[in-house]
Structure 1
């Protein structure tokens, strides 16, 4: 079998249906689809059993998180290549076939990701450098807005680059990644200490240390709606306190694992400083909505910066 596709889903019934339909329509290489359901509150599992009986379904009794659920799926996968796919995606123009063909021709590439576009058709920035204190400083101070074409001042999501050519990168967003099965197994999959966010970053970091290339391939395209499985309730905004909490906990764990103690402390001080700045700004802002947003996010940053973990 060529490709094992693992989709981790949490209450994404309609999007999951559309995603699987696009896979079947646009993929001609031999493949299997494995869905790991993280205790969905909707009819996702019933839909799969009734409409796609050939799809392998793993039903978790609780939300196991992104890393552990992917490991569950790939543990039973039979393909030479593993394809990590979010349910809020659509395969366009034979994207999986194109990624497979490209990796077959380039055996030194361990991880490959496609060009991602949003529902509006605009390109998404799905490549990045590994996290660093400098990158966080540039993000908080918005230096990239002042120097948009500078790799030094605008490193986040590699926005200085136009994403037009094939390029080796540090890491890619995990919504659509093709990985050699041997590499995934050699690295023992994703680190399950990450519940959500930065698990693919950590995996790319370990893959790169092992000598594998991580390559962006713009000639394969996937539509990515973004954020649907991050919602804890159907009506919740994509960016919520719950999601932000997972993001920062995972970021701190990544630093503890892959950086030195000084870098972790510096990151916490940076978050604390920016949180205090937002609280100050909220006290003098005249706009009620912006003032409330600045106050809430500032308070949140201070809380996570001072947390023990």
Structure 2
């Protein structure tokens, strides 16, 4: 149910007042953070914002909060959790913004950041999308830029070698952890937790792949964007605080399975269909290693509270492993 409540351009031209930015927030059981997110948007007073919240059948007071406190927000109430991509696509069929800003409900936009993102897209015709710097609540860097997945990056991720050598350009290539994230940079793809998209690019590239319930839909869209000749940029002057994975924090096993399911779909779509046995062998080896390490950690832990945590980790990896069979 829908409730409608390469010529040179000067850098950062003044934003046009009649340009509309459609902001899309997909929410699930994060009422307090969603309220903070919506409040942070109210500081963008120079912009014409068309704000949409899609609630994926939350069990909390999210829907009532939006109705009572943010009457200007367009609200879509789903009767079931349809996932991120499908929820975004529902709005894309209805909104009419010149720019589309995807933002997670557990994110807070720093003042003037949306304006900086729009200004950048207006200044750079080749740019199809731009991502802000994403920070944790303690203001430490959240790695949100990536290279496109391949067999090598999957091995580095599954083996945890990227964590052992984060500053290495080779071992840290997927998460780009070798880079300080303090400079403007063209990137392969950025997290959909905060991403500004030009409408011309969206019209050419198409909507998100709603077969990806959650995760990798941003990777897939940016890859299709790159294939069409558009560029994705990272703009550190724009900042977003992201609490990260709050909707999925109580179901880590399901989150792991969703990550893998969507990642496998990406690989099958983009040239790795005949190499899936290699990719799955790499993932399974990595999960088996984590199961063994988690079991040993549980065995060697004597604190009751910590033992419960170690057992949960073990159970999550084991369930993700069994899901493959």
Q: Same fold (TM over 0.5)?
A: yes
Sort the Cα spacing of 1:27 and 1:205 in 2 relative to 1 into closer, same or farther, 3 A.
Answer: farther
Equivalent residue of 1:54, what SS? coil
The worse-fitting range, judged by mean Cα deviation, of 151-160 and 204-213 is: 151-160
- Paired positions, count: 300
Structure 1 residue 145 displacement after superposition:
4.2
Structure 2 unaligned regions, length at least 5: 1-18, 302-306
1:250 paired residue number: 262
In the alignment, structure 1 residue 158 sits paired with structure 2 residue 170: no
Report which stretch shifted further, 75-84 or 277-286.
Answer: 277-286
- Report whether the alignment pairs 1:2 with 2:20: yes
Report the 3-state secondary structure (helix = DSSP H, G, I; strand = E; otherwise coil) of the residue aligned with 1:165: coil
Task: Give the deviation of 1:197 after TM superposition.
Answer: 0.4
Q: 2:284 aligns with which of 272, 290, 293?
A: 272
The offset of 1:27, in angstroms, is: 4.3
Cα separation, 1, equivalents of 2:63 and 2:149: 36
5+ unaligned residues in a row in structure 1: which ranges?
Answer: none
Q: 1:64 to 1:293 in 2, by over 3 A?
A: closer
Is the deviation greater in 287-296 or in 123-132? 287-296
Distance of aligned partners of 1:145 and 1:242 in 2 relative to their CA distance in 1, 3 Å threshold: closer
Is structure 2 residue 306 aligned with structure 1 residue 287? no
**Aligned pair partner of 1:171 in 189, 195, 201:** 189
TM-score normalised by structure 1 residue count: 0.91
Task: Give yes or no for contact 2:43–2:111 (8 Å, CA) kept in 1.
Answer: no
1:187 aligns with 2:195: no
Alignment of 1:76-95 (within 5 A): 76-95=94-113
1:137 matches 2:149: no
Instruction: Report the TM-score when normalising by structure 2.
Output: 0.86
Report the RMSD for the aligned CA atoms in angstroms: 1.9
CA distance in 1, matches of 2:277, 2:20: 45
Aligned residues of 2:27 and 2:56 also touching (Cα < 8 A): yes
Distance 1:146 1:270 in 2: 18
What is residue 263 of structure 1 aligned with on the other side?
275
Distance in 2, Cα, partners of 1:258 & 1:146: 29
Moved more, 270-279 or 181-190: 270-279
Distance of 1:117 and 1:248 partners within structure 2? 25
- CA deviation profile, 1:247-293 (whole Å, cap 9, x unmatched): 11111111111132343211111122223334444565542438635
1:73 aligned residue: 91
Partner Cα separation in structure 2 for residue 23 and residue 230 of structure 1:
24
